[in-house]
Structure 1
Amino acid sequence: MPKGQQSQRDKGAAPVRKRLSPAARRAEIVQAAVDLFAETGFDGSTREVARRAGITQPLLYRYFPDKQSLIEAAYSRVFLETWDPAWDALLQDRSRPVVDRFQSFYEAYTEIVFQPVWLRLWYYALLRDAQVHAWYREVVQEQILKPMVRERRAELGQGDAFAVTVDELDVPWLLHGGLLNHGLRQLAGQAGNRGDSPDRPAVIRKALNLFLQQSAPDAG
């Protein structure tokens, strides 16, 4: 290495910033935010996000005018962009019994969400960020739980045209939240590795059996 370059490195000179398109730069910033928030919760600073992205804080604010917009982008990356549109068709495929559809869906869904970053962000949102958790709850209710209720009604011959009530969502929420807590327990028990286990399909099957029992006409 030339002597001048070695001298600059010894003095702690900042690395040359990578030339990126605006879209690629924005994606790098969002990924840095996701990684930080998964470690610290949503209290992580925009200064630290900028440092991890290899840019200045003023440049970060050219892409995200405030921290809330950065949190929204991180939320979208983790909780929305991981949704597979094929799951919508799977949940509503009435050529299959609901138990088979729901089993296949939750096996595919947990394969994606039982990841350290996803589970940690969900946990931090649950504990310390009511807004992010409210966004997540709304998505889950509309994309997963309400379709499950309607499809179960249809299988029982009850029709599916009327609105899903708050009471009808109680048991699906127990199913969904219980599975996420299972993933979180697995993650905690594996010292930060993937929150998965060989018995995941069996756990899903047990949870679904409880849901189906509770939603049967003579339940309760």
Structure 2
Amino acid sequence: MQDSKKSADSQGTVKAATRRLSPQVREKQIVQKAIEHFATCGFSGSTRELARQLDVTQPLLYRYFPSKEALIDRVYDEVYQWDASWETVIKDRSQPLQARLVRFYTSYAHVILRREWIRIFVFAGLTREGINDRYLAKLRERVFIPVIAEIRHAHGLAPACGETINEKELELIWSLHASIFYIGVRKWIYDLPVTEDIDALIEQMVDAFLNGGPHVLAQVDNDIVGTPRLS
């Protein structure tokens, strides 16, 4: 009887402590649980179930986020934060190009190859039209175009015309980028084993990419002389 009473008192204390959370702590708690919830259930996961997992009422949840859309936007901003130092690394010509790309993609891989990053991105692509667009646009402007420019510079190739770039060049960078992203898909979507030595794998991928990339870019220039570039 006493043990039961102690257990009940303990649960009551925990719930009371939960109710006394500051607004800042409560908001952070909601966001972190929402990240886990949407990574598991996709965006079909209900705010009612999320509130149950948090042991709060649904109206309380809506005091912090007035709609499910607002909560999803906050989750997206929280998960897909951008490290501005990546752009500096890519453009730092005091270092060899291969070293720069290995350094960038090693850092980038450690950010994106997480369960919540991969699963939410895939769910967003399937069910939330347009939600990934701003991230992909940032990727194109801040990674793909600069990497192409650095490859061209490192191998004495003519720079891309103005601010435009050819579709074949973009596909070349996608081949490397998508290969790294797919490591996460294999692990967190297909539940397949992947190597634990991600850093060594990234180095191998970059090496293979750079052995063929400059040749492809040179061939692009030879094949499409006079062909308008895509903006």
Q: TM-score with structure 2 length normalisation?
A: 0.77
Matched ranges for 1:1-220 at <5 A: 15-16=15-16, 17-80=18-81, 83-155=82-154, 156=156, 158-159=158-159, 162-165=162-165, 167=167, 168-187=169-188, 188-190=191-193, 196=198, 199-216=201-218
- Cα distance in structure 2, aligned partners of 1:207 and 1:20: 50
Partner SS state of residue 189, structure 1: coil
Output one character per residue of 1:34-64: Cα deviation in whole Å (capped at 9) or x when no partner: 1011111111111122223332211111111
Would the aligned equivalents of 1:92 and 1:151 in 2 still touch at CA under 8 Å? Answer: yes
Would the aligned equivalents of 2:176 and 2:205 in 1 still touch at CA under 8 Å? Answer: no
Output one character per residue of 1:55-90: Cα deviation in whole Å (capped at 9) or x when no partner: 22111111111111111111111112xx32321210
Summarize the Cα distance change of 1:2–1:178 in structure 2 as closer, same or farther, 3 Å threshold. Answer: closer
Would the aligned equivalents of 1:179 and 1:204 in 2 still touch at CA under 8 Å? Answer: no
| Aligned length in residues | 216
Output one character per residue of 1:90-148: Cα deviation in whole Å (capped at 9) or x when no partner: 01101123232112111111122112221212222233322222232122112211221
- Cα distance in structure 2, aligned partners of 1:24 and 1:9: 21
- Cα distance in structure 1, aligned partners of 2:108 and 2:25: 27
Q: TM-score with structure 1 length normalisation?
A: 0.81
Measured after TM superposition, the shift of residue 15 of structure 1 is 2.6
Would the aligned equivalents of 2:90 and 2:104 in 1 still touch at CA under 8 Å? Answer: yes
Give the % identical residues: 31
- Cα distance in structure 2, aligned partners of 1:207 and 1:190: 23
Would the aligned equivalents of 2:152 and 2:214 in 1 still touch at CA under 8 Å? Answer: no
- Cα distance in structure 1, aligned partners of 2:185 and 2:196: 9
Summarize the Cα distance change of 1:118–1:7 in structure 2 as closer, same or farther, 3 Å threshold. Answer: closer
Summarize the Cα distance change of 1:116–1:138 in structure 2 as closer, same or farther, 3 Å threshold. Answer: same
- Cα distance in structure 2, aligned partners of 1:128 and 1:6: 43
- Please identify, of 193-202 and 168-177, the stretch whose mean Cα deviation from structure 2 is larger: 193-202
Paired AA for residue 190 in structure 1 = P
Would the aligned equivalents of 1:37 and 1:121 in 2 still touch at CA under 8 Å? Answer: yes
